[in-house]
Structure 1
Amino acid sequence: MLKMKLVENICLTGALLLPGIAVAQQSMTETPNILWVTIEDTSPQFIGCYGNADAKTPAIDQLAKDGVRFTNAFSTGTVCSPSRSCIITGVKTYKTGTGNHRSEYPLPNSIKGFPYYLKQAGYYTSNNRKTDYNIANAGEFTKEAWDESSENAGWWNREPGQPFFAVFNFVDSHQSRTMTFPFSWYQEKVLDQLDEEDQIGDREFEMPPFYRDSPAMRKQVARVYNSLKLTDNKIDQLLDRLEQDHLRDSTIIFFYADHGEGIPRGKTNGINLGYRVPFIIWFPEMYKHLSPWGTGGVVSSELVDFEDLAPTLISLAGGEIPDHLDGRILMGERRSKPADHLVLSADRSDNGIDLVRTVTDGKYVYSRNFMPFMPELRYIRYMEIGEIKQQMRKDLAEDKLNVLQKSLFLERPAEYLYNVENDPWETKNLVNDPNSKEILEKMRAQLQKEILGARDVLLLPEYELALVSKTTSPYEFRLDDQNYPIFNVYEAASLSGFRGPKITEKQVGLLSEQNKLVRYWGIVGLCSQHANDLSPFKTSIEKAMDDPYPPVSVTASAIAFEEFGNKDAEEKLKRFCADENLDISLMAINYLLYATNKDPFVETIRAVHEMSGRTYNVKAACMDFLGSMGLVPNNMKYSE
């Protein structure tokens, strides 16, 4: 007996169709119906048609067999809300300022959700149902973009014969299922929904090499495979509904994931495993002429990222593409020239502050870590409560991890360069490989050109983004060279992460600059320097504790306490943790998460956690702090 429940977030029975609206076959026209099937937190390595013989994903595999499978498709962020911000606006997050997970900064009025332009072209637009657009005024923005956005939304609510753009988002592969929620929850909501022959056992797959191959870890990784199998079953039901409604032969189907796999080292991390996604386009016979790649199992290595989706869809619908969209048109008469590289980005995820910028040509992935004093597996409460992360920390404490596996918990280098064709799990950093020098220098130059050309606004600390957003949008602010001298700011930021006495001296010199953002990047850069290189500059660093710009003062205090045991720094950090400005509070607590001596701050952190008005991120950081010291169980959520 089939155990799987009916799809939770779509209606699969004709009984729920609105009265009086018949489902008729779409008339043959040059205006296609468009169906988006999106899944969450999934990397290609875990799907059958991408070469994983252990996966059970027949519905997805069949789309690839009949359609076009892309091997070089990338999310422009590595966590959901920034990724979806780029998808819905068609604009990179380092232009809109929406790269930090779950922030609410405004957009200019001229930037609308791209389905708005499909509506103008006569389409019925429906979203079932996730939004998570990471912007201010999300309700009005969503209402303007969609005819309907709800758990009941679908093509069945349109006018008879009206072309549709319908999005269905399946959550069963989300990180909550694959690692965060308790195993008992996964057992009930995922595993028990699968027939026994559909289940993937703990010994029925290969382990990624950056995980210890143990029964405890295999129990956790199996969750990925079974969650994807449940997802695949639900996709099959959706496609069957499309067929039953006689619409399959007039609908172009897009399938993709919102970013990489929701397991430690994937999601939230600025490497290939965080960015690269499965991406398939299926064309019915009626619209095969629109595919420049052909159909029927074609595999394309063309570079695609989420910036390309909005202009492609507007073009398919016959709409006018607004000036703010810089992505490519992938298909049709207005198809753009293929790209030779992409620039991607990863920033804060929940309470885990970070800033990574990445360049890829498909074969190589170069990532620039601007805050490498934090490890790849930095403290993020939503991950810390997962059993797999706890098991990894336990294995680390018991010295059971090999060199690669331990490296996930150590400071990062300033740069990564991986050849993902030869090294798909990113185990060998080629930055110091003389044979890779040419590609390294090329990608460094490509990244610098994009940061400066796009005027990357996320070089601002969030404290500043919040101030800016009171009077304008980050998107518009970044264009003001007087208030945002990007060349000076980037020159300072470009040093951050690189280590050694000469770099240290330059960064200390930046602390006396007039521009507060230059001073900020000077002090952030010093966080990556080692004690021997910092000690000659003790006086300058301690002086920076009194800088009038709070992000500088917080960071200088963190360094002075960690490296010099400065008592004034200790007191300042306690006050910063409790600061009424929650961006400053989060910044201070994040620094303390990686402090060698946390004991003086325990009572302060306990008190901050109990303060009213603290955000999720601040409370989550407090819980990570206390959990790292064994003072609360690591499976406790932030609010407990």
Structure 2
Amino acid sequence: MKTSLIASTLVALSLLPRLSGAATPSAPPNIVFLFSDDQTARAVGCYGNTEIITPHLDQLARDGVRFTQHYNTTSICMASRASVLTGLYEYRHGCNFEHGDLERRFLAKSYPMLLREAGYFTGFAGKIGFDLQGEPFDALAAFFDRWAGGPGQTFYETAKNPGIARYAAQYPHCSRAYGAWTADFLKEAKQSGRPFSVSISFKAPHLPFTPDPIDLKRYAGKTFARPPNYGVAHASHLSAQSQSSRAATGYREWINDYDTSTALYYALITGVDAAVGMIREALEREGLAGNTVIIFTSDNGYSMGAHGFGDKVLPYEEASKSPLIIFDPRLPKIHAGTVSSALTANVDMAATMLAIAGVPAPTGLDGRNLLPLLAAPHERVRDALPLFNFWGAKSAQSMAIVVPGWKYIHWYYGGDGMKPTDELFDLANDPYELKNLASDSRHAATLTTLRRHYDAELAALTSRVIAGHSYESYPLLFNRTVPWSDKPVAPAVKNRKRP
């Protein structure tokens, strides 16, 4: 253990009572990071969904802080997972389908590595979602004290995942098996005498929708309410570019059989919820619950038929937003069950976990430390947040800006009969994005403000874009003042993997 950094952690934590009135813990806090796959924000009971069964996540929200405006800056798994680990936007770490694997230098400065250097006992289980550039998948195992990660999308069948295969007899579906693996990790962590950080990356509810039969039975024969923006009839006001994405051209199960798709999707999330319950029980059993911070979120949202879309990728609310719940048992009970509408993002996870541990974050992160919001949920950590899509059909790639209550999207593509298009949504009054206000003169001032934020983010992208990962053309492509005729065709790159 690196005692000097652990000592600095205790010094940093001594500041916590000044912010929240909490008592200073006698040891650095432990961290449990729980990560689902493709879970949209509304697919949890505590977010107002009365049809899904998530009692343990609902309780976690009652115990902690629930964030209602949590976005994934790139809404696709490979890039989002790298952003969670590093605290960097995709165009800075360069890891995504069609753009390349993660360079070792970025993993070396990720939150699990920095926590391990600080003396933390670290573990990872589940889908990590990327490889290291030029290295076999197994090279990742050496970065953690305990490793049960799997390549690619991993499998719902526990027995097919070597890291958790020993739990297959009792838990044949992987979600509860990850709960069992975590319980055993906690025993080892306790015996180590070190603070611990464990990251559990569930496969669920990613396709193929294959829930545990135990959970699927709970939804048998049910029908589900459609959201106000459900179906292709609610897409006529959206850009032609969005209609060219795979979210619009595929995933028709959400339009052809919404009830069956929803039952399968919700059942998978109920399985994750069961694992969350197992993990919380294990923390209590090992006497670790009082000093363990729990974070639950997902790598991207999911459209579920909104505007006729399936899949994720798009910058609309359902695809880009995920739940975020943070429970810090060190805070006074007065903070339990609070809700924050601050703009938060996947890139905030690394800075937040390092702050929880009192470990200095690398300079230049795009993410923000969310720890102050736990005691002051009405505060902000940023005024604007960019959303990107650098993947898939060039016509469906875009950059967007979210500010409190509003969203601006610029669709740059002008080929195939399309025209570059702007969209402006009043999220405060139109959370389902049913009306594009970009051409409404009554909102011209708001449009100007968001375009100013957009241009500032484009300038940042231009000055900081990573080399060698096929992002070099985007500063010009995303420039909203340059006509389409003056823009180059985005470079062709090899799609080595499929999300």
TM-score by length of 1: 0.58
Q: 1:333 to 1:270 in 2, by over 3 A?
A: closer
Q: Judging changes above 3 Å, is the alpha-carbon distance between structure 1 residues 246 and 43 closer, same or farther for their aligned structure 2 residues? A: same
Q: Deviations over 1:482-518 (max 9, x none)?
A: xx7x9xx74564258x9xxxx46xx2xx4xxxxxxxx
SS at match of 1:288: coil
Partner of residue 448, structure 1? 455
2:224 to 204, 208, 222: 204
Q: Deviations over 1:456-482 (max 9, x none)?
A: 776xxxxxx8xx53xxx78xxx9xxxx
1:193 maps to which of 211, 214, 219: 214
Question: What SS does structure 2 have at the residue aligned with 1:61?
Answer: helix
Corresponding residue for residue 259 of structure 2:
218
Q: Decide which of 364, 369, 381 is 1:338's aligned counterpart.
A: 381
Q: CA distance change for structure 1 residues 344 and 585 in 2, over 3 Å: closer, same or farther?
A: closer
1:367 alignment partner in structure 2: 409
Match of 2:344? 304
Matched letter for residue 370 of structure 1: Y
Do the aligned partners of 1:257 and 1:277 also contact (CA within 8 Å) in 2?
Answer: yes
> 1:71: Cα distance to partner?
0.7
Q: CA deviation at 1:422?
A: 2.5
Given candidates 125, 128, 133, the residue that maps to 2:122 is 125
Distance in 1 between residues matched to 2:220 and 2:420, nearest whole Å: 36
Q: Compute the displacement of 1:224 (Å).
A: 2.4
Deviations 1:409-438 (A, max 9, x none): x96862222222322222211111222222
Q: 8 Å contact 1:174–1:262 — kept in the other structure?
A: no
Query: Post-superposition shift, 1:53?
Result: 1.8
Distance 2:45 2:374 in 1: 33
Cα distance in 2 for partners of 1:98, 1:334 equals 31
SS of residue paired to 2:408? strand
Q: 2:324 aligns with which of 255, 279, 302?
A: 279
Deviation at 1:333, TM superposition (A): 12
User: What aligned pairs does 1:111-260 form with structure 2 within 5 A after superposition?
Assistant: 112-133=109-130, 135-137=132-134, 139=137, 142-143=140-141, 145-150=143-148, 151-152=163-164, 154-158=185-189, 159-177=191-209, 186=210, 189-190=211-212, 192-194=213-215, 196=217, 198-199=218-219, 201-207=221-227, 209-211=229-231, 216-260=257-301
Structure 1 position 75 matched with structure 2 position 67: no
Q: Compute the displacement of 1:280 (Å).
A: 0.5
- State the alpha-carbon separation in 1 of the partners of residues 101 and 110 from structure 2: 15
* Greater RCO (Cα-Cα under 8 Å, separation 6 or more): 2
Q: 1:106, 1:243 → 2: CA distance?
A: 38
Alignment deviations for residues 214-269 of structure 1 (CA, whole Å, 9 cap, x no partner): 87333323332222222222222222222222222221111111110164345121
SS at match of 1:44: coil
Distance 1:103 1:353, change over 3 A: farther
Structure 1 residues 365, 176: closer, same or farther in 2, change over 3 A?
Answer: farther
Distance 1:74 1:305 in 2: 5
The separation in 2 between residues aligned to 1:108 and 1:355, in whole angstroms, is: 27
Q: C-alpha separation between the residues in 1 aligned to 2:271 and 2:373?
A: 38
The code of the aligned residue for 1:261 comes to Y
Q: Go from structure 1 to structure 2 and tell me whether the alpha carbon gap of 1:310 and 1:372 turns closer, same or farther (over 3 Å shift).
A: farther
| Structure 2: runs of 5 or more not aligned | 1-23, 149-162, 165-180, 233-253
Shift of 1:89: 1.2
Partner of 1:322: 362
Runs in 1 of length 4+ with deviation above 6 angstroms? 212-215, 333-337
Q: Distance in 2 between matches of 1:128 and 1:261?
A: 23
- For 1:262 and 1:175, locate their aligned partners in 2 and report how far apart those are by CA, in whole Å: 13
Describe the shift of the 1:448–1:175 C-alpha distance in structure 2 as closer, same or farther (beyond 3 A): farther
Contact 1:365 1:418 in 2 (8 A): yes
Q: CA deviation at 1:373?
A: 5.3
Equivalent-residue separation in structure 2 for 1:452 and 1:357 (angstroms): 13
Amino acid at match of 2:65: V
Give the RMSD, CA atoms, in angstroms. Answer: 3.5
Query: Aligned partners of 1:240 and 1:369: how far apart in 2?
Result: 47
Percent identity for Structure 1 against Structure 2:
23
Q: What TM-score does the superposition give when structure 2 sets the normalisation length?
A: 0.73
Is 1:420 paired with 2:418?
Answer: no
**Aligned pair in 2 of structure 1 residues 200, 30: CA closer, same or farther (>3 Å)?**
farther
Per-residue deviation at 1:103? 2.6
Q: Which amino acid aligns with 2:313?
A: T
CA distance, structure 2, for counterparts of residue 74 and residue 120 of structure 1: 29
Residue type at the aligned position of 1:345? F
Q: Does 1:57 align with 2:54?
A: yes
Instruction: Report the equivalent of 1:494.
Output: 479
Unaligned runs of 5+ in 1: 1-26, 178-185, 375-409, 459-464, 479-483, 511-520, 525-550, 552-582, 587-614, 621-640
Q: After superposition, give the CA deviation of every residue in 1:34-81 in whole Å (9 maximum; x if it has no partner).
A: 111111111122221111122221111111112111111111211100
Q: Is residue 288 from structure 1 mapped to residue 331 from structure 2 by the alignment? A: yes
Find the counterpart in structure 2 of residue 104 from structure 1.
101
Specify whether residues 203 and 337 from structure 1 end up closer, same or farther in structure 2 by C-alpha distance, changes over 3 A only. Answer: closer
Whichever residue aligns with residue 451 of structure 1, its letter is L
Q: Distance in 2 between matches of 1:175 and 1:372?
A: 32
Supply the AA of the counterpart residue of 2:146: E
Give, in angstroms, the shift of residue 355 of structure 1: 2.5
Call closer, same or farther: CA 1:445–1:232 in 2, change over 3 Å. same
What is the DSSP-based 3-state SS (H/G/I as helix, E as strand, rest coil) of the residue aligned with 2:68? strand
Retained in 2: the 8 A contact 1:36–1:253? Answer: yes
Contact kept? 1:270, 1:345, Cα under 8 Å: yes
